[in-house]
Amino acid sequence: MASLAGAWTALVAGFGGLRDDEGVLVLDPQLPDGIARLRFRLRWRGFRLTVDVDHNEVTYTLRDGPDGRLTIHHAGERLELTTHEPSTKRMVARKPTMPTPVQPPGRTPLRRLR
Class of domain 23-90: mainly beta
pLDDT tens digits, 23-45: 899 999 999 888 999 999 999 99
- Kindly report whether the global pTM for this prediction surpasses the value 0.85: no
* Res 107: pLDDT: 84
Write the CB contacts of 53 (distance below 8 Å, at least 6 apart in sequence). 15, 16, 29, 31, 37, 38, 39, 91
Q: How far apart are the first and last CA of the chain?
A: 33
DSSP 8-state secondary structure symbol assigned to residue 14: I
Mean pLDDT of the chain: 90
Per domain, the residue ranges of the chain are 23-90
